[in-house]
Chains A and B, each alone.
Chain A
Amino acid sequence: MHVIGPSSAAAELLQYRQLWWCLTWRDLRVRYKQSLLGIAWAVLIPLSTTLIFAFVFTRAVNVVAAMNLDMPYVLFAYIGLVPWTFFSASLNGCVNSLVANRNLVTKVYFPREVFPLAAIGSSLLDFCAAGTVLAGLLVYYHLVDPGWSYSPPATLLLLPVVLCVQVVLTAGLGMLLAMANLFYRDVRQVFGVAINLWMFVTCVVYPLPADDSVTGWIVAANPMTPIIEGYRNCIIHGELPFTGRFACAAGVSIVMLALGWWWFRRKSHRFAECI
């Protein structure tokens, strides 16, 4: 039977976890096939972006001092950029996931959520690879920077919680974007611009004040800011990530996933005709 109630949607998806893994692996494999550096790119992209911002903010215009950071700028930016790269690369993969798999969408049946989720999966593996390099950076600055020392706090164990919230948010948005792009290809273009803008209203490469100004309001409404602050709290500050704003972000993420998934399933029977 093809008529599937909402309660069994998750069960059906669980049945196809093998396929999810295969598609994740395929995306990853294809991304680094015929490339000399392979998976090293997963590290090089956030690392080189970090170095660019480090150059801009310390050499071109020296504003790092004004940021009042309690850690070396490179660490600050890298801890921001790794999750951010995961977020933006996942969404970018999601936007194209259905359209790029047109063959499968029109010829084979399985829950279509697998496509955006596989896009997230392959970026997640990149994220893990980039994350391991962070350990090296922490050790390096601990040894080299006389004004800063590091000992791993217990809150590192809470990193999966932060990651989980981020994945939930990404999955919800990803499903909406994948579906929207299937119906209107403009979504991809708009997304390209929007994701750039989004990075600069998130505390990725500089801290953002949450005050009463318009900027402050945007920052407060942006669920990615508390998520990225959560990573810094867990890794550097040794503080619990569960601030009020983080709870809000978690709430927004869950609502986003529920809405995205519900809408995606509602429309998924039209995908094969409209793609």
Chain B
Amino acid sequence: MARYAVRFENVSKQFRRGQIHDSLADWIGAGWGRVQGRGRVGPAQAFWALKDVSFEAAPGEALGIIGPNGAGKSTSLKLLAGILRPDGGQVHVNGRLGALIEVSAGLHGDLTGRENIFLSGAIMGMGRREIDRKLEGIVEFSGLEDFLDTPVKRYSTGMTARLGFSVAAHIDPDVLLVDEVLSVGDVAFRQRCEARMRQLVDGGTTLVFVTHNLEQMRGVCHRTIVLDQGKVTFVGDPGQASERYLRAMMQAGERSYSDCPPGEQMAGEVRDVRFINAAGCDTGIVQADEPATIEITFCLKSAIRRLSVEVSTRRLSGELFVNFNSARQGRWYDAPAGVNRVRVHVPSLPYAGGNYVAFARLWDADRCRVVAESPARYPLVIDDRGQPTGVLALPGTWEPRCEPVPDRAIEAPAGVGV
């Protein structure tokens, strides 16, 4: 068996911005423009989606790829899948490849669910007999038994994705590429997908998983790569990788979770939100069961007499998690113009361990308007000293031993018992 299942060797991929001639008229137009000395395709038009990227995954390894939008994650997967060809370097894949890049790509709306299973299976490289053999499993996995003879165009988005994934989950590939397909479907289905991925990995499949959902990535992957602007910035432990990713996100000021577009006429600006742990460190890493301080620094253009301050944390998957609002405690600040700082002390942050992002909002209670709002970009890493599960890490003390109790089923009259 080869030493690696997937290997990127100094891979580069260049894309061109604009100047793709869709019609002959464009092409002639561009040619004419060039003759006249304008509209020249300069080097600025080209950009590197990936530049000199190298990594590999051993057989049976689950490799995560994370990074902000435009970092080159999907490009990497498409290169692995053979859809794109690198402009430099080499891509190697050992074994049968299965790609869940867009599971509903192969589905056709006019065909029924059953017909689509065969079509989509063939597109993913399964033979007719293989699909026949797996049909029952696929149908059961999708949970769409009752809709098999309904055209897929009448399916909901979630159902379509479930159908697509169910076929894809049965490819039994040596190398499985997964790109953010699990964000569709309900929670139960998402868990089934995750379980299936883990099952495949345990069975020796190599997994390359691109996602924005860091929890999911940590739950599945052994090792994670952080990509940023086409370069590998980190390779290693998934936990550390998500921290790196958060920092990159903070520096880039990614606004993907921000509710409010940045306004030019804002009367102020949030400068910083920091989480300080019990030891007084402001690294953003906080123990779930220890007291912490949140420090908000902001700048006002003019003095505000009744200012309320609000800090919210979100999970990386986007939901609003916890909100601290000074107004709710009847606290309004008389804040002068210039840079100000305000703190809120919390006895503990009993979140489930993992990564969160925070943002702050300032509210002028007299004029009833938002003074400033930051994008969600300030990282908070909670360490709950255990496996990340659930939503909260509440303290609980377990009794030292379990004790026997009488079983009612046994006491019940014969014939009625279980």
Contacts of A185 in B (CB 8 A): 22-23
Chain A residue at smallest Cβ distance from B118: A22
State whether A184 and B24 are in contact (beta carbons under 8 Å apart), knowing that A2-B91, A22-B122, A30-B110 are contacts in the complex: yes
State whether A269 and B105 are in contact (beta carbons under 8 Å apart), knowing that A19-B122, A109-B99 are contacts in the complex: no
Q: Is the pair A34, B110 in contact by a Cβ cutoff of 8 Å? A: yes
Bound state CA distance, A108 and B82, in angstroms? 8
Number of A-B contacts (CB under 8 A): 79
Bound state CA distance, A185 and B25, in angstroms? 10
State whether A272 and B78 are in contact (beta carbons under 8 Å apart), knowing that A1-B92, A29-B111, A108-B99 are contacts in the complex: yes
Q: Closest approach, in angstroms, between the C-beta of A240 and any C-beta of chain B?
A: 39
Contact residues on A (Cβ < 8 Å of other chain), bracket: 20 to 34
Contacts of B83 in A (CB 8 A): 106-109, 272
Bound state CA distance, A38 and B125, in angstroms? 30
Bound state CA distance, A136 and B92, in angstroms? 57
- Say yes or no: is A183 at the interface (Cβ < 8 Å to chain B): yes
Bound state CA distance, A34 and B153, in angstroms? 13
Bound state CA distance, A22 and B118, in angstroms? 8
Bound state CA distance, A23 and B61, in angstroms? 34
Contacts of B91 in A (CB 8 A): 2
Contacts of B124 in A (CB 8 A): 108
- Say yes or no: is B115 at the interface (Cβ < 8 Å to chain A): yes
- Say yes or no: is B21 at the interface (Cβ < 8 Å to chain A): yes
| Option from A103, A183, A184 in Cβ contact (under 8 Å) with B105 | A103
Bound state CA distance, A26 and B25, in angstroms? 34
- Say yes or no: is A18 at the interface (Cβ < 8 Å to chain B): yes
Q: Closest approach, in angstroms, between the C-beta of B126 and any C-beta of chain A?
A: 8
Q: Is the pair B106, A269 in contact by a Cβ cutoff of 8 Å? A: no
| Option from B78, B101, B119 in Cβ contact (under 8 Å) with A22 | B119
Q: Closest approach, in angstroms, between the C-beta of B364 and any C-beta of chain A?
A: 49
- Say yes or no: is A214 at the interface (Cβ < 8 Å to chain B): no
Q: Is the pair B123, A29 in contact by a Cβ cutoff of 8 Å? A: no
State whether A107 and B101 are in contact (beta carbons under 8 Å apart), knowing that A186-B24, A269-B84 are contacts in the complex: yes
State whether A18 and B127 are in contact (beta carbons under 8 Å apart), knowing that A26-B111, A29-B111, A184-B24 are contacts in the complex: yes
Q: Is the pair B111, A2 in contact by a Cβ cutoff of 8 Å? A: no
Q: Which of B104-163 contact A (CB under 8 A)?
A: 105-106, 108, 110-111, 115, 118-119, 122-125, 127-128
Bound state CA distance, A15 and B391, in angstroms? 48
Q: Is the pair A1, B27 in contact by a Cβ cutoff of 8 Å? A: no
| Option from A29, A110, A273 in Cβ contact (under 8 Å) with B125 | A110
Q: Closest approach, in angstroms, between the C-beta of B72 and any C-beta of chain A?
A: 14
Contacts of A109 in B (CB 8 A): 81-83, 97, 99
Q: Closest approach, in angstroms, between the C-beta of A25 and any C-beta of chain B?
A: 8
Q: Closest approach, in angstroms, between the C-beta of B57 and any C-beta of chain A?
A: 16
Bound state CA distance, A18 and B121, in angstroms? 10
Q: Is the pair B123, A30 in contact by a Cβ cutoff of 8 Å? A: no
Q: Is the pair A30, B119 in contact by a Cβ cutoff of 8 Å? A: no
Contacts of A183 in B (CB 8 A): 21
State whether A29 and B115 are in contact (beta carbons under 8 Å apart), knowing that A1-B93, A19-B122, A108-B81 are contacts in the complex: yes
Q: Is the pair B119, A26 in contact by a Cβ cutoff of 8 Å? A: yes
Chain A residue at smallest Cβ distance from B130: A18
Chain A residue at smallest Cβ distance from B27: A184
Q: Is the pair B111, A108 in contact by a Cβ cutoff of 8 Å? A: no
Bound state CA distance, A109 and B91, in angstroms? 14
- Say yes or no: is B290 at the interface (Cβ < 8 Å to chain A): no
Contacts of B123 in A (CB 8 A): 19, 22, 104, 108, 110
Contact with A along B158-194 (1 / 0, CB 8 A): 0000000000000000000000000000000000000
Contacts of A60 in B (CB 8 A): none
- Say yes or no: is B102 at the interface (Cβ < 8 Å to chain A): yes
Contacts of B198 in A (CB 8 A): none
- Say yes or no: is B20 at the interface (Cβ < 8 Å to chain A): yes
Bound state CA distance, A21 and B122, in angstroms? 9
- Say yes or no: is B85 at the interface (Cβ < 8 Å to chain A): yes
| Option from A104, A107, A184, A273 in Cβ contact (under 8 Å) with B15 | A273
Q: Closest approach, in angstroms, between the C-beta of A134 and any C-beta of chain B?
A: 30
Contacts of A26 in B (CB 8 A): 108, 111, 115, 119
Q: Is the pair B110, A108 in contact by a Cβ cutoff of 8 Å? A: no
Chain A residue at smallest Cβ distance from B94: A1
Contact with B along A31-43 (1 / 0, CB 8 A): 0011000000000
Contacts of A2 in B (CB 8 A): 82, 85, 91, 93
Contacts of B111 in A (CB 8 A): 26, 29-30, 33
Chain B residue at smallest Cβ distance from A34: B110
- Say yes or no: is A274 at the interface (Cβ < 8 Å to chain B): yes
Q: Is the pair B122, A18 in contact by a Cβ cutoff of 8 Å? A: yes
Contacts of A23 in B (CB 8 A): 119, 122
Q: Closest approach, in angstroms, between the C-beta of A48 and any C-beta of chain B?
A: 25
Contacts of B82 in A (CB 8 A): 2, 109
Given contacts A22-B123, A103-B106, A185-B23, 4 further A-B contacts (CB under 8 A): A19-B122, A22-B119, A26-B111, A109-B83
| Smallest CB-CB A-B distances: 10 pairs | A269-B85, A22-B122, A109-B82, A107-B105, A2-B82, A186-B24, A103-B105, A107-B102, A19-B122, A272-B83
Which residues does A use to contact B, with CB under 8 Å? 1-2, 18-19, 21-23, 26, 29-30, 33-34, 103-104, 106-110, 183-186, 269, 272-274
Which residues does B use to contact A, with CB under 8 Å? 15, 20-25, 27, 78, 81-85, 91-93, 97, 99, 101-102, 105-106, 108, 110-111, 115, 118-119, 122-125, 127-128
30 pairs across A/B with beta carbons < 8 Å?
A2-B82, A18-B127, A18-B128, A21-B122, A22-B119, A22-B123, A23-B122, A26-B119, A29-B111, A30-B108, A33-B110, A33-B111, A103-B102, A103-B105, A104-B105, A104-B123, A106-B105, A107-B83, A107-B101, A107-B105, A108-B81, A109-B97, A183-B21, A184-B22, A184-B24, A185-B23, A186-B25, A269-B84, A269-B85, A273-B15
